[in-house]
Every structure is written in structure tokens, then in C-alpha cells.
Amino acid sequence: MDKKKIVLCVGHGTNSWGRYDPGAVSKDGKYHEHRLAKKITKYAAEYLGCELINTDGTLCLKGRIKAVNAGGYDFAADIHLNAGGGTGTEVYYFHGSPTGKRAADEICREISASLGVKNRGAKVRLNSSGKDYFGFIRQTVPCAVLIETVFIDCDSDLNKIKTEEGCKKCGEAIGRALEKALVNYGK
Ligand SMILES: [Zn+2]
């Protein structure tokens, strides 16, 4: 089986006006979604030996999508932290994609097991026109998922990933999941 060409993107960093976009911020203001996502993404990419996009945080969403579509990848993931008063991990995938669902299921399972957080499951989110809600999933050419690792505004979630060690654990969980769901699938 050919090796799947995977790319991982760091969520946020720059908004469409070219300003710094931290994404969501922890309750005490100390932790920024973009900065934690950057560490988690780095560890996941190291585990997989795959390519990375937006590690310097200079690409807005449009720029990340453009870079994904220019790279000839088979699979892309945008890595985020959730906010809004929940707890646990969830992953969005392109509606109707069995590969996307398999990857999303596996990522949720691995993050939930290795960090000991709630598994909120693989999800599809559509807009009012019945298309995928997230631009990163809707406008990218390869099979794409959006990973909401844990909630940055939930202290018990944040405690699991606020250290370098926690980011490594989370990143490697994503790496193992993609290895199982994409690289070694069917072997
Ligand atoms: Zn985000």
C-alpha cells in the first residue's frame, strides 16, 4: 500500500485582517489556543513524520486551505482547542466520508484514552445549505478533519495539556490514531 501523504495544520495564529488571532483563551488568560495547538501539532507530526502547515502562525484560515490544496496531500487535519463550556474531545469530518469518519473515531478514542477525558465522538456539522460548516473541511481537496482536542476553558481539560508533557501525550495520541486509521489501515 502506498504511504498516505498526511499534513497537519496548526489552528489560528493570524486572522483575515493579518492580526494575531489567539483562538480561544483560558479563563485566566494565560493560555492561548493557537500556542497550545502549535505544540500538540508539532508532536503529532514528529510521531508521523509528516508535513506541517502554519507552525509560525502566519497563515489565516484561507491561507491554510490554500497551502493544503497546493500540497497534493491525501489527508489533512486542522488542530484546535474547544471552548464554550464543555469538556472532552471531539473531531469533525467531511460528511459522507468513511475515511474521515474512521480517522475521526480513532482520534477521539486515542485522545480520550491517553488523556483521560470524555469522548464526545466523531461529528458532522452542516451549514444551512447542507454543506460542511467548517471551511477547512468544506474547501479542502483532500479528506479533512478538524480536531477539537480538549476545552481550553475547562480547567480539568486544560490541566491535561497545559504542560509540554501534556502536549506531547495529546500529539502522540493523534499520531497513533492516524497511523491506525490511515497508514496501517488494511494492512
Ligand atoms: Zn479553534
Give every residue of the chain whose pLDDT is below 70, as ranges.
1-2
- CB atoms near residue 164 (< 10 Å): 10
CA 5 – ligand 1 centroid, Å: 24
How far does Cα 25 stand from its chain's mean position? 17
In angstroms, rounded to a whole number, what is the distance separating the alpha carbons of residues 89 and 120? 6
Give the pLDDT confidence score for residue 187 in this predicted structure.
76
* pLDDT of 2: 64
Q: In order of start, what are the domains of the chain with their CATH numbers? A: 6-183 (3.40.630.40)
Convert 7-32 to b/e letters by CB count within 10 Å (16 or more is b): bbbbbbbbeeeeeebbbbbbeeeebb
Taking the centre of ligand 1 as the mean of its atom positions, its distance from the CA of residue 49, in whole angstroms, is 24
Query: How far does residue 168's CA lie from ligand 1's centre (Å)?
Result: 19
- In this prediction, residue 16 carries a pLDDT of 94
CA of 4 from ligand 1 middle (Å) equals 26
Alpha carbon distances (Å) from 84 to 66, 115, 151, 180: 28, 20, 8, 30
Do 115 and 40 form a contact (C-beta atoms < 8 A)?
no
* Cα 120 to ligand 1 centroid, rounded to whole Å: 17
- What pLDDT does residue 182 have? 94
Q: Name the CA dihedral angle for 86, 92, 95, 97, rounded to a multiple of 10 degrees.
A: -140
Quote the Cα angle for 175-45-51, to 5°. 130
Q: Cα(187) to centroid of ligand 1, in Å?
A: 34
Give the Å distance between the CA of 42 and the centre of ligand 1.
16
pLDDT of residue 67: 98
Q: Measured in angstroms, how far is the CA atom of residue 23 from the centroid of ligand 1?
A: 5
pTM equals 0.97
pLDDT for 3: 77
Q: How many angstroms separate the alpha carbon of residue 149 from the centre of ligand 1?
A: 10
CB 30 within 8 A of CB 40: no
Pairing verdict, β 13-14 and 20-21: antiparallel
Ligand 1 centroid to 98 CA: how many Å? 24
Mean model confidence pLDDT for the chain:
97
pLDDT tens string 39-88: 999 999 999 999 999 999 999 999 999 999 999 999 999 999 999 999 99
